[in-house]
Structure 1
Amino acid sequence: MGAVKSKRMPRAVREQQMLDAAVRTFGQRGYRAASMDEIADLAGVSKPLVYLYLNSKEDLFTACIRREAAALTAAVRAGVRPDLPADRQLWEGLRAFFTHTAQNPDGWAVLHRQARTHGEPFAAEITSMREEIVAFVTQLIVVAAREAHRNPSLPEREVAGLAEALVGAAESLAAWANATPGVSARQAAATLMNFAWAGLGDLMEGQPWEEAPETAGAPKGASAPADAAP
């Protein structure tokens, strides 16, 4: 009589199952509070198997960051069609970003809160993700500048600063939207689009904001005493 063969799950599938459990646990409990026992129980495997596949808690957390960062950047890139006008490209990118972070709140918590607060090597992983997204947004701004028929492009430093500001605003707004009941991904994207595009539009049209010159003489609001001598 032949031996009964047990059905084994492929390693790649089992590993993703562990990462799913880890992202959920880290996202909801935090890196320090989360335990490997909890993660193993949620994944339906033994703790030794988690260590066998992913070595340590630090390595497991790093794997979670890498997976969630790759998924987010892929979602943003996939959401943007290069044949669209610049404003539509930015809108679609923002909508893809907020949709992904809304649909994956634990993954976003890992990226936005947990990975940033526990030092290296986790911070380096987040920096790599942000650099990729900032580079992508930079290209969207360059496209907008070309469409506006401006001089070949905006200064490199100015473009980089605009992209950094936009990405930083999106990150903060996503955290707020996920914590605020009733705020949809589309509403969050529209909020940032309305905030950013008005300013970007003026800039592309060659009408940047400029500081008003100071009024000569006394500071604004100052007046001579009523009883001053003539």
Structure 2
Amino acid sequence: MAGGASGGARGGTRGRTGGRRMPRAVREQQMMDAAVRTFGQRGYRAASMDEIAELAGVSKPLVYLYLHSKEELFTACIRREAQALLAAVERAVEPGLSADRQLWAGLTAFFAYAAEHPDAWSVLHRQARSHGEPFALEVAAMRDEIVAFVAVLLEAAAREAGSPGPPGERDIAGLAQALVGAAESLAAWVNESGTVSAKEAAATLMNFAWVGLGDLIKGERWSPH
């Protein structure tokens, strides 16, 4: 199979860039880009390796040679997109900011990533969770990392507030779970609506989480300014 795959890659201009063969790492990313797009738009079960290979501009044997089975390819896509989402959120949060500004920055980055990468979002929050335990566990691991990250921000907020009775570890964990769950649901709604920006979504959740439902109904609002 390896010989056939290499021959297929050499057999035309698709396997070359400027007269030279494309490096393996670059080719793998190209295949995974095609896979994320196909899985995200077609769904895991409906997507085929033929479609992915055609979109990537390579032969199907080459996809199998580099990325093995459909299941392994899907798992690799989940891991790559999960790492990218986590990195986007972590990059956005500057340690020197106040706790509320850090949370605002993280939420804005989260919603922006979901909106700017709809196929990746579909892979992570639709396909992976509905096609078996191995895939769902990969997404659960990513979610646990986000929850832990949010918990750190909430602990910092409690310290900033200087409350004589700050929430305990269990309360912080519960609040972090609730906030991440709300962000996931809101991101799905934002992507489906197509009319709400990442900043608008982040403001909605900041008002709900930071100001509180009771004060929000009374007209109070949180502002990044």
Mark yes or no: TM-score above 0.5. yes
C-alpha separation between the residues in 2 aligned to 1:151 and 1:129?
33
- The runs of 5 or more residues in structure 2 that have no matched partner are 1-15, 216-225
Spell out, residue by residue over 1:113-164, the C-alpha distance to the aligned partner (whole angstroms, 9 max, x if none): 0000011211111111001000000000000000001247421111000000
Of 65, 75, 84, the residue aligned with 1:71 is 84
Shift of 1:181: 2.4
2:37 maps to 1:24: yes
Partner of 2:121: 108
Could you tell me the TM-score, scaled by structure 2's length? Answer: 0.85
C-alpha separation between the residues in 1 aligned to 2:37 and 2:206?
30
1:167 match: secondary structure: helix
Of 34, 39, 42, the residue aligned with 2:47 is 34
Partner of 1:88: 101
C-alpha separation between the residues in 2 aligned to 1:93 and 1:81?
9
- The answer as to whether partners of 1:40 and 1:46 remain within 8 angstroms in 2 is yes
Partner of 1:165: 178
Aligned length: 198
CA RMSD for the aligned pairs?
A: 1.7
Of 164, 182, 185, the residue aligned with 2:198 is 185
1:115 match: secondary structure: helix
Partner of 2:11: none
Shift of 1:183: 1.0
2:21 match: secondary structure: coil
2:167 maps to 1:138: no
2:169 maps to 1:156: yes
Could you tell me the TM-score, scaled by structure 1's length? Answer: 0.83
C-alpha separation between the residues in 1 aligned to 2:194 and 2:116?
14
1:82 match: secondary structure: coil
C-alpha separation between the residues in 1 aligned to 2:64 and 2:133?
21
Identity of aligned residues (%): 73
Runs of 4+ in structure 1 deviating by more than 4 angstroms, as ranges, are none
Shift of 1:167: 0.3
Shift of 1:186: 1.1
C-alpha separation between the residues in 2 aligned to 1:151 and 1:74?
34
Of 73, 76, 88, the residue aligned with 1:60 is 73
Shift of 1:15: 0.3
Partner of 2:3: none
C-alpha separation between the residues in 2 aligned to 1:90 and 1:56?
39
Judging by fraction of residues, say which structure has more helix: 2
Partner of 2:20: 7
Q: Which has the larger radius of gyration?
A: 1
Spell out, residue by residue over 1:83-128, the C-alpha distance to the aligned partner (whole angstroms, 9 max, x if none): 0111101100000101111110100010000000011211111111
